[in-house]
Chains A and B, each alone.
Chain A
Amino acid sequence: MADDTKTRQVEPVDEYEREPVPKRALLGFSSFVGQYAGEHTAGTELMIGPLFIASGVSAVGVVGGLFVGNLLAVLSWMFLTAPIAVRARMTLYYQLEKICGRKLVTAYNLANGVMFCFLAGAMVTVNATAAGVWFHIAMPGLNDLYPNSVGWVIAVLVMGVLITIVAAYGYKVVARIANIAAPWMVLVFIAYGIVGARQLGITSVGEFWPKAQELIWTGGAPLAGRAKFTFWHVMFFAWFCNMAMHIGMADLSVFRYARKSWYAVGTAAGMYLGHFIAWLAASILYAQQLRATPGNTDVLPGPLAYNATGIAGLICVIVAGWTTANPTIYRAGLAFQAIAPSSSRYRVTLLTGALATLAGLFPAIAMKLLDFVALYGLVLMPMGAVVFVDFWMAERLGFRSRYAEAAGISVNWAAGLAWVVTLAGCLAVVSMGGLQIYFVGLPGWFAAATLYIVLSRLLQRKEVRL
Chain B
Amino acid sequence: MKTAARLVSLVSLVGTILPPVLFFTGYMDLDATKRWMLIATIAWFAATPVWMDR
Docked CA distance A123–B19 (Å): 28
Interface size in chain B (residues, C-beta < 8 A):
25
A436 lies within 8 A of chain B by Cβ: no
Nearest CB of chain B from residue A205's CB, rounded to whole Å: 9
Q: Are A184 and B41 in contact (CB under 8 A)?
A: yes
* Interface residue from A181, A190, A310 paired with B17 (Cβ < 8 Å): A190
B7 lies within 8 A of chain A by Cβ: no
Residue in B closest to A194 when the chains form the complex, CB atoms: B20
Q: Are B20 and A191 in contact (CB under 8 A)?
A: yes
* Interface residue from B20, B30, B53 paired with A180 (Cβ < 8 Å): B53
Docked CA distance A406–B48 (Å): 51
Majority DSSP secondary structure for residues of A touching B? helix
Q: Are B20 and A179 in contact (CB under 8 A)?
A: no
Q: Are B26 and A203 in contact (CB under 8 A)?
A: yes
Q: Are A312 and B38 in contact (CB under 8 A)?
A: yes
A311 lies within 8 A of chain B by Cβ: yes
Contacts of A311 in B (CB 8 A): 34, 38, 41
Q: Are A184 and B44 in contact (CB under 8 A)?
A: yes
Residue in B closest to A311 when the chains form the complex, CB atoms: B38
* Interface residue from A180, A191, A310 paired with B49 (Cβ < 8 Å): A180
* Interface residue from A184, A310, A312 paired with B13 (Cβ < 8 Å): A184
Q: Are A187 and B17 in contact (CB under 8 A)?
A: yes
Counting chain A CB atoms within 10 Å of each CB, the highest count among B24, B33, B40 belongs to B24
Contacts of A198 in B (CB 8 A): 23-24
Q: Are A180 and B34 in contact (CB under 8 A)?
A: no
Q: Are A309 and B52 in contact (CB under 8 A)?
A: no
A430 lies within 8 A of chain B by Cβ: no
A28 lies within 8 A of chain B by Cβ: no
Binding site for B on A (CB under 8 A): 176, 179-181, 183-184, 187-188, 190-191, 194-195, 197-199, 202-203, 309-313, 315
Q: Would you list 20 pairs from A and B whose C-beta atoms are within 8 A, ordered by A residue?
A: A180-B49, A184-B12, A184-B16, A184-B45, A187-B13, A187-B17, A188-B16, A188-B37, A191-B17, A191-B20, A191-B37, A194-B24, A195-B30, A197-B24, A198-B24, A309-B34, A311-B34, A312-B40, A312-B41, A313-B34
